[in-house]
Amino acid sequence: MSLYEFECPMCGMRGEINQSYDAPLPECKKCGGKTMRLISTANFSFGWRLTEKSHIKGNKDELEPNI
């Protein structure tokens, strides 16, 4: 099972649910309307990160291996 975010377009209520991909989306708990699945961003680093110097204002971004 996966964690999915959903939103009700009628009232704007958002939530998360653990379910399989092909399971029907839940009804909105606030207004009873149809919900829609949201596309979420993923948190991947792909083995690189910004150096400490990169976080100082005015410095250029530099990458280093994320070990």
Q: What is the pLDDT of residues 17-53, one digit of tens each?
A: 898 888 998 899 999 999 999 987 766 667 778 888 8
pLDDT digits (tens, 9 = 90+) for 10-25: 999 999 989 888 899 8
- The pLDDT, as a whole number, for residue 44 is 63
Structure tokens at 54: 């990169």
Name beta bridge partners: 34. 27
pLDDT at 63: 84
Tokens describing residue 62: 């530099």
Report CA Rg, the chain.
19
What pLDDT band is residue 9 in, cutting at 50, 70 and 90?
very high
**CA proximity to 15, closest of 43, 31, 38:** 38
